[in-house]
Amino acid sequence: MKSYNVLSLFSGCGGLDLGFKKQGFNIIKAVDNDPTVIETYRKNIGDHIECLDIKEFNGLLYKNIDVIIGGPPCQGFSLASNLVRNFKDDPRNYLYKEYIRIIEEIKPKIFLMENVKNFLNFNSGKFKDDIIEHFKNIGYNIEYKIIKTVEYGIPQKRERVFFVGTLFNNNFIFIEKSVVKKTIYDVIFDLETKPYDSLWNHVPMNHSEQMLLKMSYVKEGKGRECIPEELKPKTGDVRKYIRLDRNKPSFCITTDNRKIFHYLFNRALTIRELARIQTFPDNFIFYGNRSSQEKQIGNAVPPQLSEKFAKKIKEYLNE
């Protein structure tokens, strides 16, 4: 069976790439501008990644690419970001134009682009329509779909939009939903009795006494409403100070999970537990400090979800 060449843009630590690699795709080049994620990617996936500003990337040098994958930064599209009100002030929100430029230069048979769900609604949907029009103008048929990861066997309530562009026809069929629904307990319960040094990245946080006191009041599946008024945080993200429910999928793993508590223990989840919820294998090691590791995991596409897309894309290319 033919091996297909992939270019990965905005690669991060490699969640999307890992799924394609497992499906036999040949990732010949990956690009990101964060040195820390570069180290994680290189040591887990390969040396083909380059630390580079995407604006410096010359797609004209890569004409043997079958598939382009990646997700331009989404800070300005996220509902959790203050940048929604200051979209024009952050140059990262326009990096999708570089994604379009590179696709136009290379003209792959198919591309996969991922972003936050609010990408579709930004500026009353006109932003999404404009991007689709750009892709159509360079010859692509576009399909998009909001993927709720919990419906695809991922133990997490995560919603992302995936765009698929095909150069010659539009018969791409999106991935099928899974009949198996997983809870957080399904994927991390065995770590309850394992020593913290038995796995890479399985190290608990050192919480302050005040934080330990606050979290001690929060019951399983509940939130800050359990904390006494004199201790209750008055500001901050309402999705924080929550204890997970072992019988349900996890909340969406973000780039900061310090105030999301383990269903059983008085602590935040370890990096390894977060990685398992994102479906990274235990032999995938994250580098950098804890803050960087959380960002790497939170920004990643779950590898098991990526592998489902990779399988579908391979079927499409083999038709």
What count of other Cβ atoms lies within 10 Å of the Cβ of residue 151? 14
Q: What is the pLDDT of residue 70?
A: 96
Q: Is 23 helix (H, G, I), strand (E, B) or coil?
A: coil
Residues 204 and 243 in one domain: yes
Q: How confident is the model at residue 1 (pLDDT cuts 50, 70, 90)?
A: low
pTM given for the model: 0.92
Tokens describing residue 68? 């382009």
The string of pLDDT tens digits covering residues 23-75 is 999 999 999 999 999 999 999 999 999 999 999 999 999 989 999 999 988 55
CATH of the domain at 226: 3.90.120.10
Residues 153 and 268 in one domain: no
d(CA 296, CA 167): 31
Residues 55 and 98 in one domain: yes
The string of pLDDT tens digits covering residues 90-123 is 555 578 889 999 999 999 999 999 998 888 887 7
The string of pLDDT tens digits covering residues 203-229 is 999 999 999 999 999 999 999 999 999
Q: What is the pLDDT of residue 224?
A: 92
Residues 202 and 91 in one domain: no
Residues 105 and 242 in one domain: no
CATH of the domain at 41: 3.40.50.150
Residues 211 and 257 in one domain: yes
Q: How confident is the model at residue 79 (pLDDT cuts 50, 70, 90)?
A: very low
Question: Which neighbouring-strand residues pair with 112?
Answer: 69, 164
What count of other Cβ atoms lies within 10 Å of the Cβ of residue 68? 24
Which residues are known to be catalytic? 74
d(CA 75, CA 14): 19
Structure letter (DSSP) for residue 62: -
Q: How confident is the model at residue 127 (pLDDT cuts 50, 70, 90)?
A: confident
Tokens describing residue 165? 């562009």
d(CA 40, CA 20): 17
Q: By residue range, what is the domain housing residue 201?
A: 184-297
